[in-house]
Structure 1
Amino acid sequence: MYRGQRGGGKNKFFQRRKICRFCVDDGMEINYKNPKALKQFITERGKIIPRRITGTCAKHQRKLSIAIKQSRQIALLPFVGKPLY
């Protein structure tokens, strides 16, 4: 490549804008007592999935992380996932 030139071409992948599930559906509530709903937002290793991947807005991601942490404290969700060995 020459200096000043960039790799042009068309972008093969079009990333669709992610929308917040909680903003769209008013009936869906973030509650630490509901581990089934919270499990969608943690990995199999037990880590909280970031909002750039899930698509949740900042306001709901903060509430979600607090609810996950509360649920871990009262042993509804695990701190770590299953061991790999």
Structure 2
Amino acid sequence: MARKRNDRDRDRDRDKNSAASNLRQRKRYCFFCKENIDIIDYKNTGMLERHISDRGKIRPRRSSGNCVQHQRKVATAIKRARVMALIPYYKR
């Protein structure tokens, strides 16, 4: 017969996982909000390449630390720069 899990078992599992959670990275803040940058230009490839992975993919919000509004603007600017051939679609 299977044993029922109770709250003490869940608490014990949570305590095991909390040791790993102490090694979390510090919270990232939106670069554009911090620097008061309103306009994200597709011609500024140096700034846009900071938000592209080594494989050429757009970095997600959770790794770049951008807020929703600026992440959308960055994605749009990167896509425009790709169409204009300022940034490659794929890096080798």
Q: Which amino acid aligns with 1:33?
A: K
Residue among 57, 70, 75 paired with 2:80: 70
1:43 equivalenced with 2:45 (yes/no)? no
- The yes-or-no answer on 1:30 pairing with 2:40 is yes
Separation (CA, whole Å) in 2 of partners of 1:43 and 1:52: 13
Number of residues paired by the alignment? 81
TM-score (norm 2): 0.78
**TM-score, L = length of structure 1:** 0.83
Amino acid aligned to 1:56: N
Determine the C-alpha separation between the residues in 1 that align with 2:65 and 2:42.
20
Q: Which runs of 5+ in 2 are unaligned?
A: none
2:5 to 3, 6, 10: 3
- Percent identical among aligned pairs is 41
Tell me whether 1:61 sits opposite 2:63 in the alignment. Answer: no
Structure (1 or 2) with the greater helix fraction: 2
* Matches of 2:24 and 2:57, distance apart in 1: 27
The alignment yields a C-alpha RMSD, in angstroms, of 1.8
Q: 1:43 to 1:14 in 2, by over 3 A?
A: closer
- Most deviating of 25-34 and 58-67: 25-34
Larger Rg: 2
More moved, 20-29 vs 46-55: 20-29
